[in-house]
Structure 1
Amino acid sequence: MPDTTPAPSTVLPALPALSAQAERLIELGVHETAGLSADEIRTFAVKAEAGTEGQGGLLAVHPDRAPASALAPLLRRDGKPGFVVVDMPDVDDFTPCALELPDAPLYVVTGIDRGDHMANWSPDEALPALTKEDRTPLVLTEGVHWVLQQPEALERNLCFMTIGSRLRKPNGTLDARTPAIWISNGTGRDGRERRNAPKVGWCWWNNRHTWLGFASATGRRG
């Protein structure tokens, strides 16, 4: 079992208001990718804001409308765009597993945590711990949305996995790869020009990584 001593964690500021998040998505053209009008996103954000009772949350577009392959290049760090690793051409086939997303094009994710205290745990070890805490892991697109709205959620040595997304093989078994979002070192096939860029990649289900926590949430509502 991993060391369960809590790791040092940076306290992140509150997410922007949902109405501000809506404007950010519109600015990036996410509404067009999702087949939504700017007014639809604004209207949803206003109504959702009224129902949060001051708790806030993350405005997310359902992955069926805005897949990870379309969102990742919108990420920015040090002026460099985000990217998906070359050996993950099937990134959009990683779909929600063991959790249900709201049946709506837009929804709000509440109680997001980066899971720094689970750094150096494997996904296999982290998932039951999250379940015991009544939390569900983020899916990949939710993680990308989070970094789009709050770039400081991604820090050197404090990045995160999104194990709510898994790839199911034709025979029904789950692929051992699990998606994560971290910062490229510009090595290997990433290319030196991508050093410090936000990166969507994958890790093995049973492997541990000291720089990766497990992003999770307390709830979702459409």
Structure 2
Amino acid sequence: MTETPETAETPFDRAAEFDRQVRTLVDRGYPSLAGVGPEAFAAAVAPLRDRATATTGPCDIDGGRIPFLLVVARGAAPIEETMPRTTLHRGRLPGFVDRSFEPGSLERFVVPEEIGLPDGDIYLLLDVERGEEFCGVVPGEAMKTVAERKRTPLTIEEGVALVTHFPEVLAKNKCFSLGGSRCGDRRVPALWISKRAPKLGWCWEGNPHTWLGMASAGGRSAG
């Protein structure tokens, strides 16, 4: 169960939220994916706790705004293994990778050099927005606007983390592209709902969709 969105009456407990996200990853088998036990995994993420609790900004789950996310890099948790560990809110069917990704193509969707990622297999994504304001906007233009705001588009792994920790964020007509992972062509990865489950697919950077925004974040931190 996710935390209640922050209001004046119910302040968002960042320490409790960090612990919840750790439990979520442990419960979904991320330690075994990374080749460690639950205790070693918890010890590895512990240095991020102070940075997470020091974050500011609202937690508005319905509005798609999250102060921080624990992200496990694909080197420790392959996308093919993490997508089936996602579900929709109150759903049971596992997420999946669309067949439009030809065999081996996910490995070619990497982070552009101008974005960069923190060192290490686990880090924090900060000030996350689902980005439904970009629904109906050409993805290429949405990414330009994100860059102009000094924000960064989410990678595939970060999108998976968002749905893993907050499945409510992936909602009908409020799905999102992941412009932080590219493979050198016009394809932009995206997460949307298909067959009552989360689906990782892609869309052309020049084609707008009324139900597909552009997720972004304020930054990343390794501690």
Q: State if a TM-score over 0.5 links the two structures.
A: yes
| TM value normalised by structure 2 | 0.82
Distance in 1 (alpha carbons) for counterparts of 2:218 and 2:73: 17
Establish whether residue 72 from structure 1 lines up as the match of residue 83 from structure 2.
yes
Match of 1:155 among 167, 171, 184: 171
The residue aligned with 1:95 is: 110
CA contact (8 A) 1:177 1:202 kept: yes
Match of 1:81 among 81, 91, 94: 94
What's the secondary structure of 1:145's corresponding residue? helix
Question: How far off its partner does 1:44 sit?
Answer: 3.7
Q: Deviations over 1:88-137 (max 9, x none)?
A: 13223211113111111110000000111111112210111111111000
Distance in 1 (alpha carbons) for counterparts of 2:131 and 2:41: 29
CA contact (8 A) 1:19 1:46 kept: no
Aligned-residue sequence identity (percent) comes to: 34
Distance in 1 (alpha carbons) for counterparts of 2:147 and 2:109: 20
Distance in 1 (alpha carbons) for counterparts of 2:36 and 2:143: 33
What's the secondary structure of 2:188's corresponding residue? strand
Code of the aligned partner of 2:74: P
User: Any unmatched runs of 5+ in structure 2?
Assistant: 7-11, 56-66
Establish whether residue 108 from structure 1 lines up as the match of residue 124 from structure 2.
yes
1:177-192 paired onto structure 2 within 5 Å: 177-184=187-194
The residue aligned with 1:205 is: 205
The residue aligned with 1:188 is: none
Distance in 1 (alpha carbons) for counterparts of 2:178 and 2:185: 14
Question: How far off its partner does 1:34 sit?
Answer: 2.0
Question: How far off its partner does 1:53 sit?
Answer: 4.1
CA contact (8 A) 2:191 2:201 kept: yes
Distance in 2 (alpha carbons) for counterparts of 1:41 and 1:179: 28
Question: How far off its partner does 1:178 sit?
Answer: 1.1
What's the secondary structure of 1:112's corresponding residue? strand
Runs of 4+ in 1 over 4 A off after TM superposition: 11-16
Question: How far off its partner does 1:181 sit?
Answer: 0.2
Question: How far off its partner does 1:12 sit?
Answer: 6.3
What's the secondary structure of 1:203's corresponding residue? strand
Question: How far off its partner does 1:40 sit?
Answer: 3.3
| TM value normalised by structure 1 | 0.82
Match of 2:68 among 37, 57, 60: 57
Distance in 1 (alpha carbons) for counterparts of 2:85 and 2:200: 12
Distance in 1 (alpha carbons) for counterparts of 2:159 and 2:5: 15
Bigger mean CA offset, 108-117 vs 94-103: 94-103
CA contact (8 A) 2:52 2:124 kept: no
CA contact (8 A) 1:19 1:45 kept: no
Q: Deviations over 1:48-94 (max 9, x none)?
A: 12233442510001122212211111111221111111121322321
Code of the aligned partner of 2:217: A
Establish whether residue 130 from structure 1 lines up as the match of residue 146 from structure 2.
yes
What's the secondary structure of 1:52's corresponding residue? helix
The residue aligned with 2:9 is: none
